[in-house]
Amino acid sequence: MTRPGSDGPGAPAGGAPGARPAALDGDGARARGGGLDVAGYLARSAAVAAALATRPGAAAVQRAAAVLAEALAAGRLVLFCGNGGSAGDAQHLAAELVGRYALERAPYRALALTTDSSVLTAVGNDYGFEQVFERQVRAMAGPGDVLVAITTSGRSANVVRAAEAATALGARVVALLGPERSPLDALAEVALHVEGETPGLVQQGHITVGQAMCGWVEATLAGQAPG
């Protein structure tokens, strides 16, 4: 079971004392013959990818991408945050903007709030882990900037607090969420929900949606960007 607010895969539930639990795959589905049910996992993954066309849908993804494009065209900053696998997604998507996605163009201003170990550990130690992203947002964000808040549960306290800080500062918020309603629905200008029965499957949807956003941003801005 995944604990509330977690963005990582859960641990298998225990059985009777002394009993050896049946093998589980990486997303908690019972495996066949004591091993990974690869075919079943791939089928579930494909179903999540297919569902993206309906939820969040292309129109919502394009609206979110437009938020990022408007900020970057104005010279503003796009910040990304998330925990665990979502931290990896934050870094991946920031890299797509700073580097390149498919076109040769100027770099865009993007930063993942998950990469500075000294800041994360200092703030976590001195103020608490729930403030590790909030304090960075308060230090760096301003009106017209964008925070991309990523959480599969929709309830990660440090991500929610970062979004609250961003809105208080006049920054815009885009949220990548799982299937359930979240406090971020009320904070985000665009909330992109991904269907998926486990965090790992939701994360697969998040990176697909995120890359679609980056591709749209790049195609839209490349004609304006120098170099």
Mean pLDDT of the chain: 88
42-98 confidence digits (pLDDT tens): 999 999 999 999 999 999 999 999 999 999 999 999 999 999 999 999 999 999 999
pTM for the whole structure? 0.84
pLDDT tens, position by position, 2-41: 444 556 543 333 333 333 333 333 444 455 556 778 999 9
Question: Is the distance from CB of 109 to CB of 75 less than 8 angstroms?
Answer: yes
User: If you count DSSP H runs as helices and E runs as strands, how many of each does the chain have, helices first?
Assistant: 8, 5
Which pair of structure tokens corresponds to residue 175? 């949220």
